[in-house]
Amino acid sequence: MSPHGQLADNADAKLNWRVFQMIWPHLAGYRNRIVVAFLCLLAAKGASVVGPFLLKYIVDALDSGNEMIIVPVALIVAYGMARFSSVAFGELRDTVFGRVTERAMRRIGLQVFEHLHALDLDFHLNRRTGGLARDIERGTTGVGFLMRFFVFNIVPTFLEIFLVIGLLMANYGWHFAAITLVAIAFYVAFSVVTTEWRTRFVRAANLADSTSNTHAIDSLLNYETVKYFTNEQFEADRYDVDLAEWEAARRKNRLSLFTLNAGQAFIIAAAMTAMMMLAAQRVSTGEMTLGDFVLINAFMLQLFLPLNFLGFVYREIKGSMANIEQMFALLDEQPSVRDVPDAVELQLPAAGKPPSVQFSNVSFRYNNDRNILSHLNFSISPGEKVALVGGSGAGKSTLVKLLFRFYDPSLDEQNQTGQVLINGQDISQCTQQSVRKAIGIVPQDTVLFNDSILENIRYGRIEASDQEVRDAIKMAHLQDFIASLPDGVDTAVGERGLKLSGGEKQRVAIARTILKGAPVLVFDEATSSLDSRSERAIMAALKEFQQGHTSLTIAHRLSTVVDSDRIIVMGEGGIVEQGSHDALLQADGAYAALWRAQEREQVLL
């Protein structure tokens, strides 16, 4: 009987045959293997059907009282060969088709992974990473399950059913065929209906299990907070409530499984009893031999054994189809920022010569509620150091996203689109990859991979040598910190770099950007996590590094950008004023007010 209490999460989904259309292109390249696998399947089923006939002849030969032992022995050997052939062809089928399934899972998984990296920033800002990973995992697993169980379990089982019914009708009349057909029809109908009914209990058990685990993990992760407020008993009581719900759901799930198994057993027993009674009656009248009685019994056992798992397989196939469709829905997601059909590579000046950057009549909004930028115009000359300052929400970080082509400029009131140009080329007409290769960034929130410091820095330019990485470390003033670590550059930084402080992560990010060697540099609060001493050292290094580059710095602390060639003060989606530090102070405008406010804060500190 069906022993599985846990079914697919999407088990209530309807069967969608379109899934096979989605999968087929990934299987089409293995037509020969698929043909061989199906030939093996037919051979395995042929051997399994021949087995009961051989068993009949063995029993009849032994029952005849014939003293010549050679015939029963030959039949027994043939029966053994038939059983072995059935298993051997089945294993060969799985081996041949296994590579097809695994390669399809690999290709689909890779395709989804690459597609997710091609989607725009909006998609990833709204995603749920855990759910996304689960969709990919369940989708690729669903492909394997669907191929394995549908193609090599459901289809062969029903093929064998119709073959056996045909043989029974041809050899023993319509009565045996009718009993078999009616019993299987009742069995399938009961299994499907009952499995649909018990889905609610399976889901309730799964939900209760997830809820109790979520609360338990949340409580343990916040162990210190629980201790601070002496709420151990409260947490235990809340966990026990969750466990009580889980216990009740599991009890209903178990009783529903008992109903399914008991009903299946009753249908099988009733069918077997009816068949055996009819066969026994025919044997007693001499219409059938004892071997025929054994053959019918063997056929019935052979048919109902794979059907025992019908409830489980049916639910899992439905769940797999839903999971696959959900994964393919990710592939239907289209990025809003795409390369134009005839996109060209961004052309940069000769080595050592920095490019210009220009924002021409740029307007942008994330949605229709309010404009972030309105008709913005400014340019950065080759090799110029420009700083962007202003209040929160002024659009400074949005400019960086537009520069990287995470977004394209929006239409303005006249349905015109502004331009972002690098070296005089509209980046919307260039490939995204060539644009992003030309820009190096030190972000405010530095996220590192769970790898060594060496490999995190090398990520700036994968093909860089160890010596080039060490040079970048030296320029970022990281060598003293790394020397203090037991494992040096091989020190693992932990997930998202959590083993390092904010300042240490920021210096790793600076070294990574130095290693990239891009002609355009962006510093988004690049020293926000550094103490004053470290900041001075890093600022000196960055000043040296900026030579020969066109750079854009976003800063909150004005003291970090006083040596910029030009400072642009932003507000209300546009430029409030711009000029050098001294010129802006003399103008006594918005920048001067910000400078005085920060000086007062510094005095208070």
Q: Which of 406, 402, 430 is nearest to 417 (CA)?
A: 402
Sign of CA dihedral 157, 159, 160, 166: positive
CATH of the domain at 251: 1.20.1560.10
Is residue 493 in some structural domain? no
The structure tokens listed for 197 are 């009914």
545 within domain boundaries: no
Residues 539 and 527: beta-carbon distance below 8 Å: yes
Query: What's residue 5's pLDDT?
Result: 37
In a domain, 546, yes or no: no
**Spatial distance between the Cα atoms of 596 and 492, rounded to a whole number of angstroms:** 43
Token couple for 253: 């799930």
Give the closest residue to 489 by CA, choosing from 517, 508, 516, 503.
508
Cα 482 to Cα 277: distance, rounded to the nearest angstrom: 85
Is 62 domain-assigned?
yes
Summarize pLDDT for 86-118 with one digit per residue, the tens. Answer: 888 888 887 887 777 778 778 877 888 887 877
pLDDT at 7: 38
Distance CA 107, CA 132 (A): 18
H or E element that contains 488: none
The per-residue pLDDT for 111 is 80
Give the CA diameter of the chain: 123
Q: Is residue 199 part of a domain?
A: yes
Instruction: Give the helix ranges, DSSP H, for 424-529.
Output: 432-437, 453-458, 466-475, 479-483, 502-516
pLDDT at res. 595: 87
Is residue 392 included in any domain, yes or no? no
Please name the residues in contact with 408: beta carbons below 8 A apart, sequence gap of 6 or more. Answer: 336, 337, 402, 417, 428
User: Could you tell me the strand order of the sheet in which 373-380 lies?
Assistant: 373-380, 357-364, 419-422, 425-426
Q: What is the model's pLDDT at position 529?
A: 59
Residue type (1 letter), 236 = A
Q: Which DSSP string do the residues of 16-74 spell out, in sequence order?
A: -THHHHHHHHHHGGGHHHHHHHHHHHHHHHHHHHHHHHHHHHHHHHHHTT---THHHHH
Which domain, by its residues, includes 60? Answer: 18-332
Cα separations (Å) of 102 from 136, 293, 319, 374?
A: 15, 44, 19, 52
Alpha helices in 119-154 (DSSP H): 121-126, 129-145
Q: Hunting for tokens 């043909």 — which residue is that?
A: 35
Q: How far apart are CA 489 and CA 512, in angstroms?
A: 13
Instruction: Tell whether 519 is covered by a domain.
Output: no
User: Under a CB-based contact definition with an 8 Å cutoff, are residues 432 and 339 in contact?
Assistant: yes
Provide the domain count of the chain.
1
Count of beta carbons in the 10 Å neighbourhood of residue 486: 6
DSSP 302-338: HHHHHHTTHHHHHHHHHHHHHHHHHHHHHHH---SS-
Strands (E), 157-254: none
* pLDDT given at position 1: 41
Q: How far apart are the first and last CA of the chain?
A: 74
Predicted pLDDT of residue 8: 44
Mean pLDDT over each residue of the chain, to the nearest integer: 79
Q: What is the pLDDT of residue 472?
A: 87
Convert the pLDDT of each residue in 540-558 to its tens digit. 767 777 888 898 988 888 8
Low-confidence spans in the chain with pLDDT less than 70? 1-22, 63-72, 120, 124-134, 150-153, 206, 308-312, 315, 319, 322, 368-370, 412-416, 495-497, 526-535, 537, 541, 601-605
Element (H, E) at 378: strand 373-380
Residue 129: predicted pLDDT: 55
pLDDT digits (tens, 9 = 90+) for 313-357: 776 777 677 677 777 777 777 777 788 888 899 898 887 788 999
